[in-house]
């Protein structure tokens, strides 16, 4: 609807316009401020120009009324136009989204394969999957990817942690765990599997830590995939870090040729301050081994080399300092760093009955994703993690998401959809029956409700362009609130205008169902 209105006005006026919603809904559905930007060039008052624009647009039949107010041009859509758009949606004749030639690689989660996922990982996971869902719905070619950090000290530390767990769990020895070591019951399960596969002797000494660590890494990755599946998150690709270092010499040559690297104190440094970084960064240590940053440089180069136009990374907020150095390396390699977009995901704080949520002994010192799913369910978890912009701190009480009222947003939205389906059942009609119903006399609150329901595609486009799926969550809450208010204030089944109301409610149900689907949640028809 939004795109049709916008393109119709632009074709008539032969210029670009920005559609806004008037502050006073009584003025119309949309407004443009073109007269203000034209005033200086034409040396006329915006009020005069607005009146002239109304004259040029007056003949367009999708509008019931066009008016000029204090320089604004206001548009009220005709009921016939709203009816036609509704018919397209309800009969599945909605225009197919044009295919976007841009190829996007969306990387998210990428948690170290050293332990189960915790709630911090979950926020980025649901955000990434929602962005992918929305983008694909809009016709954009998106590939999702998980970067497996399987090189460096964390895998060695995982092997040693499993070994120490075995001394305690299998052999009953007293074990002192250094602070940085991994803890949790998941290590005991890995010990059992290693003992069964290789025999217990492999765990009795430190001679086999590499084998233990690599095996444990694979098992943890299986656990991560399982946990992600619980919240309906999957990936097109999994890319391992370790093999990428084979390309370091080639990448290093290219960086050296572009004056990106220099030697100092026996190390090789990236001159990232040339592109606004606070400090230059080490890419090769004194022993000649590449650093974690070197792996990131190779990986992002490889992403562009695979033919992707835009890269989107969702990182934890603690990775803020990495942005400038990675972007700098891309500039040195000849890529436009603007095509790398970083979304930072802030931490999540959980409460239970107003008190900090208890840590999970299964994880050692974190709150597991699976613990929260067990408490509130996957749908509530996904929605609450998408309820706010990702770069803001999120705090919620798990008890509020168990209530069956408006304090539980997923219940509130699903209840709206279930109520609509109940009304159809009570009226003895189906959605197929209402497709041909007319909307000739629709007005007031009912017309406003339909307009809001028809704005879904615009909200989806806006949320994708801004990489902010929380805008869809807000939209669904507002739309559901408008429906519940209408339901309370008006007779529906048996009303004089029952047919009109049911047709509008069918569109509302469609928007709720599709909006939830974009967030990875299946709408409920019965509660």
For residue 136, count other CB atoms closer than 10 A to its CB.
Answer: 16
Is residue 405 very low, low, confident or very high in pLDDT (cuts 50, 70, 90)?
confident
Residue 158: C-alpha distances to residues 113, 191, 214, 374, 389 (Å) = 9, 12, 9, 27, 34
Answer yes or no: are the C-beta atoms of 427 and 502 closer than 8 Å. Answer: yes
**pLDDT attached to residue 95:** 57
Q: Assign domain 409-518 to its CATH superfamily.
A: Isoleucyl-tRNA Synthetase; Domain 1 (1.10.730.10)
For residue 279, CA distances in Å to 138, 273, 321, 523 come to 40, 6, 10, 49
The pLDDT mean for the chain works out to: 93
Section 257-264 average pLDDT? 96
Closest C-alpha to 292, from 123, 155, 125, 179: 155
Give the pLDDT confidence score for residue 163 in this predicted structure: 95
pLDDT of residue 257: 96
Distance separating alpha carbons of residues 295 and 246, to the nearest angstrom:
10
| pLDDT of 297 higher than 60 | yes
- Cα separations in angstroms, 94 against 85, 87, 251, 420, 491: 8, 9, 47, 22, 30
Mean pLDDT of 380-409: 90
177 or 61: which carries more pLDDT confidence? 61
Angle CA 261–263–268, to nearest 5: 65
How confident is the model over 466-498, as pLDDT tens digits?
999 999 999 999 999 999 999 999 999 999 999
Question: What is the predicted pLDDT for the residue at 367?
Answer: 83
307-342 CB burial, b ≥16 within 10 A, e <16:
ebebbbbbbbeeeeebbbbbbbbbbbbebebebbeb
Which class in CATH covers the domain with range 108-150+152-240+346-402?
alpha beta
Confidence of residue 102 (pLDDT cuts 50, 70, 90): confident
pLDDT classification of 403: cutoffs 50, 70, 90: confident
The whole-number average pLDDT for the span 324-352 is: 95
Tokens (6 digits) for 255: 């960086």
Q: Are 451 and 526 in contact (CB under 8 A)?
A: no
Helix ranges (DSSP H) in 43-78: 46-57
Please report the pLDDT score of residue 357 as a whole number. 79
According to DSSP, the residues that pair with 77 across neighbouring strands are 63
Sorted by sequence, the CB contacts under 8 Å of residue 153 that are 6+ apart come out as: none
* pLDDT exceeds 80 at position 62: yes
What's the full length of the chain, in residues?
A: 527
Short-list 48, 46, 42, CA closest to 33: 46
Please, are residues 390 and 346 in contact by the beta-carbon 8 Å criterion? yes
pLDDT band (50, 70, 90) for residue 152: confident
Give the Cα-Cα-Cα angle 509, 515, 516 (nearest 5 degrees).
90
**Dihedral sign for Cα atoms in the order 380, 383, 387, 393:** positive
Over residues 194-204, mean pLDDT: 94
The stretch 510-520 carries a mean pLDDT of 98
pLDDT, tens digit, for every residue of 425-460? 999 999 889 998 999 888 889 999 999 999 999 999
- Whether the Cβ atoms of residue 343 and residue 312 lie closer than 8 Å to each other: yes
> Which stretch of 214-228, 382-396, 399-413, 421-435 has the lowest confidence by average pLDDT?
399-413
pLDDT band at 345 (very low <50, low <70, confident <90, very high): very high
Order of strands across the sheet with 140-148?
237-240, 140-148, 100-107, 310-316, 340-345
Q: Considering only CA atoms, which of 160, 142, 316, 120 is closest in space to residue 234?
A: 142
pLDDT per position as a tens digit, 24-61: 888 899 999 999 999 988 999 999 999 999 999 999 99
pLDDT of residue 285: 94
Least confident of 164-178, 310-324, 411-425, 493-507: 164-178
What distance in Å separates the CA atoms of residue 213 and residue 153, rounded to the nearest whole number? Answer: 10
Judged on CB neighbours under 10 Å (0-12, 13-18, 19+), 35 is: buried
User: Mean pLDDT across the stretch 296-314?
Assistant: 97
Residue 364 has pLDDT above 60, yes or no: no
Q: Residue ranges of the domains in the chain?
A: 2-77, 108-150+152-240+346-402, 409-518
Query: By the 8 A CB rule, do 130 and 469 touch?
Result: yes
Q: How is residue 357 written in tokens?
A: 């949520």
Q: Which two tokens stand for residue 45?
A: 């008052």
CA 302, distance to chain mean position in Å, is 24
pLDDT value, residue 264: 96
Q: What is the CATH number of domain 2-77?
A: 3.30.1360.70
Q: How confident is the model at residue 249 (pLDDT cuts 50, 70, 90)?
A: very high
More confident residue, 135 or 357: 135
Instruction: Give yes or no for residue 383 having a pLDDT over 80.
Output: yes
User: If you ran DSSP here, which 8-state letter would residue 358 be given?
Assistant: P
pLDDT tier for residue 359 given thresholds of 50, 70 and 90: low
In this prediction, residue 274 carries a pLDDT of 96
Percentage of the chain lying above the pLDDT 90 cut: 80
């Amino acid at each position: 609807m939004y795109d049709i209105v916008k393109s119709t006005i632009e074709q008539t006026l032969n210029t670009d316009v920005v559609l806004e919603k008037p502050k006073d809904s009584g003025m119309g559905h949309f407004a443009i401020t073109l007269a203000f930007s034209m005033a200086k060039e034409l040396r006329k008052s915006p009020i005069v120009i607005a009146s002239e624009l109304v004259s040029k647009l007056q003949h367009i039949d999708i509008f019931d009324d066009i008016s000029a107010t204090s320089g604004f041009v206001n548009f009220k859509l005709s009921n016939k136009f709203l009816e036609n758009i509704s018919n397209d949606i309800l009969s599945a004749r909605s225009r197919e989204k044009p295919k976007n030639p841009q190829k996007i690689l969306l990387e998210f989660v990428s948690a170290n394969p050293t332990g189960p996922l915790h709630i911090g990982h979950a926020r980025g996971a649901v955000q990434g999957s929602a962005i992918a869902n929305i983008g694909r719905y809009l016709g954009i070619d998106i590939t999702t990817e998980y970067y497996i950090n399987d090189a460096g000290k964390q895998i060695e530390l995982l092997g040693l942690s499993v070994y120490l767990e075995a001394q305690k769990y299998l052999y009953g020895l007293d074990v002192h765990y250094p602070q940085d070591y991994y803890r949790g019951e998941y290590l005991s399960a890995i010990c059992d599997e290693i003992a069964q596969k290789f025999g217990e002797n492999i765990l009795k000494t430190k001679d086999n830590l590499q084998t233990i660590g690599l095996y444990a890494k694979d098992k943890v990755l299986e656990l991560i995939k399982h946990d992600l599946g619980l919240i309906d998150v999957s990936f097109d690709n999994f890319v391992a870090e370790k093999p990428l270092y084979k390309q370091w010499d080639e990448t290093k040559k290219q960086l050296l040729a572009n004056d990106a690297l220099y030697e100092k104190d026996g190390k090789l440094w990236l001159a990232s301050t040339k592109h606004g970084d606070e400090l230059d960064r080490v890419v090769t240590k004194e022993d000649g081994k590449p650093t974690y940053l070197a792996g990131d440089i190779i990986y992002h180069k490889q992403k562009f080399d695979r033919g992707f136009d835009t890269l989107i990374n969702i990182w934890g907020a603690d990775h803020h300092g990495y942005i400038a150095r990675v972007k700098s390396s891309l500039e040195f390699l000849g890529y436009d760093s603007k095509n790398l977009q970083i979304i930072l995901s802030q931490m999540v704080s959980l409460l239970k009955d107003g008190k900090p949520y208890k840590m999970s002994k299964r994880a050692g010192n974190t709150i597991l994703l699976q613990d929260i799913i067990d408490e509130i369910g996957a749908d509530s978890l996904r929605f609450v993690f998408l309820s706010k912009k990702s770069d803001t701190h999120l705090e919620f009480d798990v008890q509020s998401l168990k209530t069956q009222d408006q304090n539980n947003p997923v219940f509130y939205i699903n209840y709206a959809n279930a109520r609509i389906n109940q009304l159809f059942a009570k009226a003895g009609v189906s959605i197929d029956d209402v497709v041909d119903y007319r909307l000739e006399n629709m007005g007031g609150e009912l017309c406003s409700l339909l307009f809001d329901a028809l704005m879904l595609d615009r909200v989806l486009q806006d949320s994708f362009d801004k990489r902010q799926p929380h805008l869809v969550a807000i939209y669904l809450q507002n739309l559901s609130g408008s429906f519940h208010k209408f339901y309370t204030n008006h007779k529906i089944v048996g009303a004089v205008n029952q047919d009109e109301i049911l047709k509008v409610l069918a569109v509302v149900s469609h928007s709720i169902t599709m909006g939830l689907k974009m967030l990875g949640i299946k709408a409920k028809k019965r509660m």
